[in-house]
Chain A
C-alpha cells in the first residue's frame, strides 16, 4: 500500500482553473503527476456521468474545479456544477465511495500557487484513502 500512487481526474474549466494550471506551469511550480487534467469549457458542462465514468474506471479521486462564484464566463455554470456535486455526494457514498473522493473547488485564473497547493493536498488525501474499490474489484 505504501507505494500506492493514486490517480486523480480533474475536470477544470478553461477560463479559471486551467489557466491557473498553466500559470503554475509557467511559474515552474510543481504539482503531483497523479493529477490528470481534463479541460472543459466550463464546470457547468460536467455531467454527473463524466464523474461516474472516471470513478468506475478506477480513478481514486475526482476533482471538478472552476471559476469562483460570480466569475464564471458562462455566468452561472459553476452554480449548476455545485448542485451536481451536491447530488453526487448524496448518491455515491451509498455505494461505498468515500465522499472525499469527489471534490469541488474554485481556483481563479491568477491562482497558480493555490492550484499547485490544492493538487498536492488532494493527492495526499486520496493517497491516504487508499485505492478505490472500483480499482481493486472488477466492476461490471
Chain B
C-alpha cells in the first residue's frame, strides 16, 4: 500500500504547495527544486531551478500554461552524474516525454525525484497571455475554479489548448510523488502519495500529517478521463476528415514555412541534429531547376509534407500529446491535432504507450523473430 501524506492548503493551494516545496528543499540531500515559477519581469511561467527557499514564493506549478515541455530541461540536469539530487515538479505529459528520453539515454532517472500534480490542462501560450493580464496568480485561481467545476477550464470563452482537452492521461503516473487535485478537498489538504521507494523515503522525512487519498479520487479521475476520451475521439475524427488524402494533408500544412520550430519544441524529437537541417537538404541549385522542370512548378522551400511525414515516422510512436508543436508554430497550424491523430494508429500497431514504463523499449529499437508476418509478401 502506497504511503500517503497530506499537504495542508488552508491558506490556498499555491501557498500550501510552496510550503511543501520549501520543506522538500530544506532536506540536506536535495540540491534544488525545478518548478515552474512566475518570472518577475514578465507575465510568463517558466521552469526554474531554485536553490534559495525564498525564491519558492514565485513557484506556480498550477498556472495554466507551459510554454515548453519541461522534459528536455530535465535531461539537461540529469544527462550526467551531478552528485546531488534534484526534485522536478512536472506535468504528466512532461514526465512521459522524459521517460521516453531516458530510454534513449538522453537523461537519467538517477539523482532525480519527480513530483507530479494531477494535470487540469493548460491554455495555448498565445491564449494565456491576454488571460493573464490581471496577473498570473489571479488567473490561476480563476482557472482552478473553472477547471474543477462544470466549465472544464474555459474562461472568457477561451478553452484549454486542444491537446489538453483531448489528453486522457492527466494523472502523473510516472512520478515518484503524486499530488492529487482530483477528488481532493482543495480547501483543506491535498494528498501526496509515494509511487516509488525514492518518493517514499523523501516523504518520510517531511513534516506532514499522514492521511489517505480521498474516497472520491478514483471516481473523479475516471469522470475526467471519460470526458477527455470523448473529446479525443471527436478531435481525431475531425482531424482525420481534414487530412485523409495527400491533397488535404498538403492543404492542412499549407501555411508551413519549414521553420522547424515544431520539432524544436517537440520533447520527443530526439535527434541532436535533425536531418532536415543537415547538408542532405542543401540541394544543388540545379536540382531545384530539375524539379521545377519535371513537375512544371515546385513550391519553395521544398519538402514540407516530406518533413512532417518523416517526423511522424521517426517520433510518432513516442508522441505524448503535449501540444507544444502547436504552441510553437508561428502560423497557427493545428499540429498537435495532426500528430496525436496520426500517431494513434502507430502506437496501436505496436501496442506502445509512450512514457508509461522504462521497461518498454521504443518499438523501433527492438524486434522479435516471429511477428508482423502479415506485412511480408505481395498478396
Contact = CB atoms under 8 A, between A and B. Distances in A.
Task: Decide if A and B are genuine partners.
Answer: yes
Interface in B278-315: 295, 297, 299, 304-306, 309-310, 312-314
Given A82-B371, A95-B249, A137-B247, A48 B310 contact: yes
Contacts of B377: 103-105
Interface residues of A, number: 38
Nearest to B244: A96
Interface in A26-61: 48-49, 52-53, 56
Given A48-B310, A88-B313, A94 B342 contact: yes
Contact of B310 (A49, A105, A118): A49
Contacts, number: 113
Given A87-B346, A118-B378, A122-B378, A95 B244 contact: yes
Interface in A94-140: 94-97, 103-106, 118, 121-122, 125, 133-134, 137-140
Contacts of B309: 52, 56, 91, 95
Given A82-B371, A87-B363, A48 B313 contact: yes
Contacts of A84: 313, 364
Contact of A86 (B244, B250, B295, B372): B372
A123 B211 CA distance: 69
Given A87-B313, A96-B246, A79 B367 contact: yes
B372 A83 contact: yes
A79 to B, nearest CB: 4
Contacts of B295: 138
Q: Which of B245, B248, B306, B376 has the most A CB atoms < 10 Å from its CB?
A: B376
A78 B367 CA distance: 10
Contact of B306 (A53, A85, A104): A53
B376 A82 contact: yes
A137 B295 CA distance: 10
Given A56-B306, A140-B299, A86 B349 contact: yes
A91 B372 contact: no
A105 B306 CA distance: 25
Interface of B: 240, 243-250, 253-254, 275, 295, 297, 299, 304-306, 309-310, 312-314, 316-317, 341-342, 345-346, 348-350, 363-364, 367-369, 371-372, 375-378
19 contacts: A49-B314, A80-B367, A82-B375, A84-B364, A87-B346, A87-B349, A87-B364, A94-B342, A94-B345, A95-B243, A95-B245, A95-B249, A96-B244, A103-B377, A104-B376, A105-B376, A133-B245, A138-B295, A139-B246
Given A106-B376, A138-B250, A140-B250, 12 more contacts: A56-B305, A69-B369, A80-B364, A83-B372, A90-B349, A91-B345, A91-B346, A95-B243, A95-B244, A95-B249, A138-B299, A139-B250
